[in-house]
Homo-oligomer: A and B are copies of this chain.
Amino acid sequence: MSELIHPELSDIISAHERIKPYIHHTPVLTSGQMNSIFNADLYFKCENLQKVGAFKARGASNAISLLSEDEIRKGVVTHSSGNHAAALAYAAGLRGARAYIVMPENSPKVKQRAVASYGGEISFCTPTLQAREETATKIIEDKGAIFIHSYGNFNVICGQGTSALELITDHPDLDIVVSPVGGGGLLSGTVTAIKGIKPSVQVFGAEPAGADDTYRSFNSGEYIPYHKPDSIADGLLTTLSRLTFGIIRKQVDNILLTSEASIIECMRLVWERMKIIIEPSSAVALAVIKENPEAFRGRKVGVIVSGGNVDFEKFGFSWQP
């Protein structure tokens, strides 16, 4: 197998120019209280305030911007139960194109509503990877639609890296950047942007101990997919692709793990102290800082807050006082 081509800083800079009209340059928030609690200067890059509530708008916009008129005319397709589905529908809509979204029939109603609200056309399937891929393949064959993978896609990775590009440009004196890692698209883009601009900045991936395929692949040097992940961080249950594994293995400084209890505790801290909604997957980045205090003490740390799409009812929220 020939080696997969890794993106470079210039690809991410080009992506940023390309998608600027379609995304928010998200704010970086700081909190004196949080700095006291974590004994570090934390810079929260707020992709929860991004279009569709997650960084995924960046990668989807970049991939779709690069399609020709002939390609986009037949629509795009993906299988996803999460933020990438909504992002693809959003980005396709910007070009007046159709987005076919394959979702497991048991996916949360809140996510189905999000996809539909951006005009995505949902095809339900049984909740197995095989059924998802078969359903998507059928749409590709029937419609001629272009498949856009949520992280194993060069252009998607370049788009995801634009968040870290903004972060390091706005705050060039960071010592460390921490990004959650699920399929690895965000972490791959992040490390490419950060190391490209300032190689001395450490880049860490943050992963739930219950879904530690990146940790095990990174440390063994072998690509080890994970078939039964279990974590409240529902955005991080996907497994690395060979492309993201290669980028991460080559450039990332370390993968740090966290317990489920720390994820919940850190999510709650951000909600209560910073008044922003972050999803459990985003709290993972903060949770590894809590669990590895010696690595971060007194340092300037960029934290990629990946998204804010929370199923409130899952937490018992009744919307009644």
Residues on A lying within 8 angstroms of B by beta carbon are 27, 29, 48-49, 53, 232, 264, 268, 271-278, 280, 308, 312, 314-321
Q: A275-B278, A275-B308 are in contact. List 16 more A-B contacts (CB 8 A).
A: A27-B27, A48-B275, A49-B274, A49-B275, A53-B275, A232-B321, A264-B319, A264-B320, A264-B321, A276-B276, A277-B277, A315-B317, A315-B319, A315-B320, A316-B318, A316-B320
Q: Are B318 and A315 in contact (CB under 8 A)?
A: yes
User: How near does chain B come to A287, taking the closest CB pair, in angstroms?
Assistant: 14
Chain B min CB distance to A231 (Å): 10
A190 to chain B, nearest CB (A): 20
Given A29-B49, A320-B264, A321-B232: A275 and B275 interface contact (C-beta under 8 Å): no
Chain B residue, CB-CB nearest to A272: B312
Residue among B273, B277, B315, B318 making CB contact with A276, cutoff 8 Å: B277
A272 — which chain B residues lie within 8 A by C-beta?
312
**Chain B contacts of A278 at CB under 8 A?**
275
The distance from the CB of A17 to the nearest CB of chain B, in whole angstroms, is: 22
User: In the complex, A277 Cα to B277 Cα: how many Å?
Assistant: 6
- The CA-CA distance from A25 to B316 in the complex, in Å, is 34
How distant is the Cα of A312 from the Cα of B29 in the complex, in angstroms? 22
Cβ of A319 and Cβ of B49 under 8 Å apart? no
Cα A268 to Cα B277 in complex, Å, equals: 12
Contacts of A273 in B (CB 8 A): 53
A276 to B277, CA, bound (A): 5
Which B-chain residue is minimally distant from A51 (CB atoms)?
A: B32
- The answer to whether A319 touches B275 (Cβ under 8 A) is no
Question: Cα distance A278–B27 when bound, in Å?
Answer: 18
Cβ A268 vs Cβ B314 within 8 A:
no
12 sampled A-B residue pairs with Cβ under 8 A: A48-B275, A53-B273, A264-B321, A271-B277, A272-B312, A275-B277, A276-B276, A315-B320, A315-B321, A316-B316, A316-B318, A316-B320
User: A36 to chain B: closest CB distance in Å?
Assistant: 10
- Write the nearest CB–CB distance from A163 to chain B, whole angstroms: 15
Residue of B nearest to A275 (CB): B308
CB-nearest residue of chain B relative to A110? Answer: B272
The smallest C-beta distance from A269 to any residue of chain B, in angstroms, reads 11
User: In the bound complex, how far is the Cα of B315 from the Cα of A318, in angstroms?
Assistant: 6
Task: Known A271-B277, A271-B312, A275-B277; judge A317-B319 contact (CB<8 A).
Answer: no
Closest residue of chain B to A47 (Cβ to Cβ) is B275
- How distant is A13 from chain B, measured CB to nearest CB, in Å? 26
* Chain B residue at smallest Cβ distance from A48: B275
Task: Chain B residues near A275: list those with CB within 8 A.
Answer: 48-49, 53, 276-278, 308
B308 touching A268 by the CB < 8 A rule? no
For the complex of A and B, 9 pairs with smallest distance between CB atoms: A275-B308, A316-B318, A275-B277, A48-B275, A316-B316, A232-B321, A317-B317, A276-B276, A315-B317
A280's closest neighbor in chain B, by CB?
Answer: B321
